[in-house]
Structure 1
Amino acid sequence: MSDAPFDDPAFLFEPKIDGHRLIMTCNDGETRLFSRHNIECTRKYPELNVERTH
């Protein structure tokens, strides 16, 4: 058992935001959001403050 929620790097957390399941990727400093159908939707959620660096 962990000391705090989500502190195990092997744990995968899939939040449901605004009725959509999103997958977040972080590669080379670039964070992006995708739908479960692999549609890029980062710009649909400006309140998450996810900025693309490229």
Structure 2
Amino acid sequence: MVTGLAAIAWNDLAHRPQEDVKGRKRLWALAIAVNFVGPIAYLRYGRRENTT
């Protein structure tokens, strides 16, 4: 389950433009690798809402 959550987060991070990410993408990629908290934090706090 944790691996799947990380894969979802990394896939989203890879395909999302930098301007739609809160903070630096490299740091979010490292945070996602930490444990289950990293992917949850990215998916909840790391992304900007798409306004278009």
* TM range, smaller chain: under 0.3
Q: Which has the higher contact order (CA 8 A, sep 6+)?
A: 2
The two structures have a TM-score, normalised by structure 2, of 0.26
Which one has the largest radius of gyration? 1
Higher strand share: 1
The two structures have a TM-score, normalised by structure 1, of 0.26
